[in-house]
Amino acid sequence: MKQLLVLIAVILLAGQLTAQQRWTLSYQKKVRLKSVEENPTANAITIKRASLKAASDLVITFKVNDGKVNRTVMADDSSRSGIKNWDKVKKTLTIKAAELRKLFKERDTILFYFTEIPKDPALAAVVRMRPVHLFTLVVK
């Protein structure tokens, strides 16, 4: 009985580990975050406003590109107005410095989220996905 419980726990843990999305955030060709726990305050990256004038791209790389889901990355501010969406993100999303300047024109903090919804309309209709926080980008 004890062995059965241990086996079930191991199977559930393995399933949980493989279900989590792995990703990497790079800015100015330096890795800043890697698949960290969901925490908007701890996963904050601070960049200088002057660095937005250079050719500094923000690159989000997802380790898995599952062809069965549509991935959307969203930028939001504290007002929850939904600043910008990038639909059908495959493995890599590159946000150019010019686009970052536009996003930070009227604000100092942007929260980035992603969702994955099944491509199958029947599955998508019954799945309710909440946006998963990736990181918070702060300009000073």
Q: Are 110 and 82 in contact (CB under 8 A)?
A: no
In a domain, 10, yes or no: no
pLDDT of res. 18? 43
Q: Domain of 114?
A: 22-139
- Number of domains forming the structure of the chain: 1
Look at residues 32, 100, 38 and name the one whose alpha carbon lies nearest to residue 61: 32
Output the domain CATH number for residue 106: 2.60.40
pTM for the predicted model, two decimal places: 0.77
Average pLDDT over the chain, rounded to whole? 81
In a domain, 63, yes or no: yes
pLDDT of res. 60? 92
Q: Are 56 and 27 in contact (CB under 8 A)?
A: yes
In a domain, 11, yes or no: no
The count of other CB atoms within 10 Å of the CB of residue 46 is 11
Q: Take residue 119 and report the two structure tokens written for it.
A: 């491509």
pLDDT digits (tens, 9 = 90+) for 14-64: 444 444 578 899 998 888 888 888 888 888 999 888 888 877 889 999 988
Across the range 89-114, mean pLDDT stands at: 90
pLDDT of res. 2? 66
CA separation for the pair 98, 74 (Å, rounded): 17
In a domain, 1, yes or no: no
In a domain, 16, yes or no: no
Question: Which ranges of the chain does DSSP label H, i.e. alpha helix?
Answer: 2-19, 97-103, 121-126
CA separation for the pair 119, 98 (Å, rounded): 31
In a domain, 2, yes or no: no
Q: Are 35 and 24 in contact (CB under 8 A)?
A: yes
In a domain, 40, yes or no: yes
In a domain, 130, yes or no: yes
